[in-house]
Homo-oligomer: A and B are copies of this chain.
Amino acid sequence: MPETLLSPRNLAFELYEVLDAEALTQRPRFAEHSRETFDAALATARTIAEKYFAPHNRKADENEPRYVDGRAELIPEVKPAVDAFLEAGFLNANRDFEVGGMQLPSLVSQACFAHFQAANAGTTAYPFLTMGAANLIESFGSDEQKRLFLQPMIEGRYYGTMALTEPHAGSSLADIRTRAEPAGDGSYRLKGNKIFISGGDHALSENIVHMVLAKLPDAPPGVKGISLFIVPKYLVNADASLGPRNDVVLAGLFHKMGWRGTTSTALNFGDNGQCVGYLVGQPHQGLACMFQMMNEARIGVGMGAVMLGYAGYLYSLDYARQRPQGRLPDNKDPHSPAVPIIEHSDVKRMLLAQKAYVEGAFDLGLYAARLFDDTHTATDADARRQAQELLDLLTPIVKSWPSAYCLKANELAIQILGGHGYTREYPVEQYYRDNRLNPIHEGTEGIQSLDLLGRKLAQNNGAGLKQLIRLIASTAERASHHPSLDPLRQPLEQLVNRLQGVTLALLGDLAQGKVAGALANSALYLRVFGHCVIGWRWLEQAIHAEVGLLKGSDRDFYQGKLQAARYFLTWEVPGCHNDLALLEARDDTCLAMQEGWF
């Protein structure tokens, strides 16, 4: 039976050959774990994803949440699925054993989660949003807030959301208008409207805990005046029992192109002046707090994009193996039987491109999870700090690259299925529609490009960047011991060298205040930087494939890795040089364009 979610062989390659998950069990926090416990968790994730999540993926798409009597109504299959997720402990996969968690490394929990993301993006969002909100309260909430809100979230009784976007402001959080007035009793009364709130209403849980950005009366203008609040759907009494409905009204649902299983809501806070909220962390520090959640969410979005791409890749691969059609171009005999379309070079191209995008991005996502583990559990403080610096730098890539290229993978999957791929009788068109959200939510591509070029590069005096360049050089050095990898290594080295020069020049411009010009082509920079990072990860994979080949087993698997690495490093990476030339020249084609000229 073909794999439908991800390739277990590739997952094992990532975990145990490339990213050395077993080394994590040397660390005190993960000492009770072993490859066996990791694999058991992964097997459970796969079983639940296949049994409870995948089967209603299409149904949820065809029956999007409905607005009924002020509530969002989901199809009945969602609750058993998230319940199974909860019962298996995945909601607390990373929490301590002592609070009932699985105390798994993030590397392994992300790999578990990947199965759900591939099986059903829509349903998976509900527990994911809850995890993010819970982590936020855990990091910044008071003990009382933890008792009243975090604990029931950990128990799976309350779900969470993040409520940032407002109708007039979109990505510009500086301009949010939701206000929070002190009520005199330590709580606040909120008033404002939020849109695109995923999971903003449903009956999956006893309560919903909205993490809301709002401004206090004395807030300074801009992003330095944003505070973070807990706003529950139902108020919670001091004894932790449920109180009456809070003044949070479901104003409506958005009807999306895809990802329909996750209800996207418009919420009105305080239409009746009675919306109770609780300040989380310090006043005016809300955006910094929220960024923790957003950074986790961005990695989650990136992995979600990967897994939609992965599911489409595997489906189109199986289709291409099964579907006979046409003959090879050097066969002119019309009596000869049709060949499976996987034998056509252009179909191989479309499969190989998908493989390169999907497995490259999958590796990066897991690498980021591994870094996340290092930020918490690396043995010395320097290593923890370095991991954080690198993760901060890579986050815009982890989020945006898969959103762009695994969407492209889905486009190719449709193309392989041809007319069938365009029909809703096959799953690939849904993956494509679902995946189109990922370049938009949790910070658009444009936002990510400004985050990378305008913020992350220079952070900590460029420590993250320097580290990345060292790591790429180290990979290239190890690759140089395999002469067969020369044609793969060289294009990466050329790109990295040139990118370094461009980076220094752009940072210089920024330091001199030439901000508009330096940031004008941030989209090009994001693309090239992303290709560098993915190219690096493919060279890493190629080295491990060479090592694997030497062992003599699984030759086909390792040959496939080398061919995908070759595709990415020789077809895609050198294609970035014109982008670099434009960046070098500070090309102003876009910046100079005038509104009246369109």
A162 CB, min distance to chain B CBs, angstroms: 14
Given A335-B221, A344-B446, CB of A432 within 8 Å of CB of B436:
yes
Residue of A170, A343, A523 with most partner-chain B CB within 10 A: A170
Contact of A587 among B254, B432, B570 (CB under 8 A): B570
Hey, which chain B residues are within 8 Å of A335, CB to CB?
Answer: 221
A591 near B429 with CB under 8 A, answer no
Interface residue from B257, B317, B338, B355 paired with A175 (Cβ < 8 Å): B338
Whether B172 lies near A329 (C-beta < 8 A) is no
Q: Which of B346, B424, B449 contacts A346 (CB 8 A)?
A: B449
Contact of A445 with B by CB under 8 A: yes
A440 to B: closest C-beta gap in Å: 6
Specify which chain B residues have a CB less than 8 angstroms from the CB of A440 in the assembled complex: 414-415, 418-419, 421-422
| A21 proximal to B (CB < 8 A) | no
Q: When the two chains form their complex, are residues B429 and A415 in contact, meaning their CB atoms are under 8 A apart?
A: no
Contact digits for A186-215, partner B, Cβ 8 Å, 1 yes 0 no = 000000000110000000000000000000
Interface residues of A in 20-71 (CB under 8 A from B): none
- Residues of chain B with a CB closer than 8 A to A75's CB: none
A170 to B421, CA, bound (A): 12
Contact call B560/A597, Cβ cutoff below 8 A: yes
Is A519 on the interface with B (CB-CB < 8 A)? yes
Q: Which residue of B has the minimal Cβ distance to A518?
A: B329
Shortest CB distance A570–B (Å): 7
Chain B residues with Cβ below 8 Å from A577 are: 577-578
Q: Are A419 and B578 in contact (CB under 8 A)?
A: no
* A169 touching B325, Cβ below 8 Å: yes
Q: Does A441 contact B (CB under 8 A)?
A: yes
CB distance from A510 to the nearest CB of B (A): 9
* Complex-state Cα separation, A450 to B169, whole angstroms: 48
- Decide if A343 touches B595 in the complex (CB within 8 Å): yes
Least CB distance from A575 to B in Å reads 4
In the complex, whether A379 has a CB less than 8 A from a CB of chain B is no
User: In whole Å, how far is A543's beta carbon from the nearest beta carbon of chain B?
Assistant: 18
Q: Name the CB-closest residue of B to A173.
A: B326
Pick from B257, B439, B454, B590: contact of A415, CB under 8 Å: B439
Q: Find chain B residues with CB under 8 A from A418 CB.
A: 170-171, 440, 444
Q: Is the CB of B256 within 8 A of A559?
A: no
A residues 410-450 near B (Cβ < 8 Å) are 411, 414-415, 418-419, 421-425, 429, 432-433, 436-437, 439-441, 444-446, 449-450
Q: Which of B172, B327, B423 contacts A338 (CB 8 A)?
A: B172
| A478 within 8 Å of B (CB atoms) | no
Least Cβ–Cβ distance between A81 and chain B, in angstroms = 24
Q: With an 8 A cutoff between CB atoms, is A165 at the interface?
A: yes
Q: Knowing A345-B516, A422-B436 touch, does A329 contact B590 (C-beta < 8 A)?
A: no
Chain B hits for A346, CB < 8 A: 446, 449, 522-523, 590
A520 located at the interface, meaning its Cβ lies under 8 Å from any Cβ of chain B in the complex: yes
Instruction: Assess whether A255 is interfacial by the CB under 8 Å rule.
Output: yes
Find out whether the CB atom of A317 lies under 8 angstroms from the CB atom of B598: yes
| Interface: A222 (CB within 8 A) | yes
Interface residues of A in 330-348 (CB under 8 A from B): 330, 334-335, 338, 340, 342-348
| A587 vs B352: C-alpha distance when bound (angstroms) | 14
User: What's the least CB distance linking A143 to chain B, in Å?
Assistant: 34
In the bound complex, residues from chain B placing their C-beta under 8 Å from that of A589 are: 352, 563, 566-567, 570-571
The interface residues of chain B lying within 8 Å CB-to-CB of A421 are: 440
Most chain B CB within a 10 A radius of its CB, from A445, A593, A596:
A593
Would you call A351 an interface residue if the criterion is a C-beta within 8 Å of the partner chain's C-beta atoms? yes
Question: Which residues on B sit within 8 Å (CB–CB) of A382?
Answer: none
Shortest A513–chain B CB gap in Å is 8
Shortest distance between the CB of A171 and any CB in chain B (Å): 7
Interface check A592, CB cutoff 8 A? yes
B169, B345, B519: which contacts A520 (Cβ < 8 A)? B345
Residues of B within 8 A of A283 (CB): none
Contact partner, A516, options B330, B450, B556, Cβ 8 Å: B330
Q: Is the CB of A471 closer than 8 A to any CB of chain B? A: no
Q: Roughly how many angstroms separate A440 CA and B413 CA in the complex, as a whole number?
A: 12
Bound CA span A344–B172, Å: 12
Q: Does A174 contact B (CB under 8 A)?
A: yes
Q: Which residue of A222, A563, A598 has the most chain B CB atoms within 10 A of its CB atom?
A: A598
Q: Is the CB of B348 within 8 A of A424?
A: no
Do the beta carbons of A556 and B256 come within 8 Å of each other?
Answer: no
State A220–B520 Cα separation when bound (angstroms): 61
- Indicate if the CB atoms of B593 and A582 lie closer than 8 Å: no
CB distance from A566 to the nearest CB of B (A): 5
Q: Identify A325's interface contact among B171, B347, B355, CB under 8 A.
A: B171
A237 at the A/B interface (Cβ < 8 Å)? no
Which of A222, A355, A578, A587 neighbours the largest number of chain B CB atoms within 10 Å of its CB? A578
What are 9 sample pairs from A and B whose C-beta atoms fall under 8 A apart? A170-B326, A172-B338, A196-B419, A345-B591, A346-B522, A346-B523, A351-B598, A433-B433, A571-B587
Enumerate the 5 nearest inter-chain pairs by beta-carbon distance, A residue then B residue, closest first: A222-B334, A560-B597, A221-B334, A257-B429, A172-B326
Q: Please name 16 further chain A to chain B contacts, defined as beta carbons within 8 Å, in addition to the given A422-B440, A432-B436, sorted by A numbering.
A: A168-B324, A169-B338, A171-B326, A171-B418, A174-B326, A222-B334, A255-B424, A256-B423, A257-B429, A415-B446, A429-B436, A560-B594, A563-B593, A571-B582, A574-B581, A577-B578
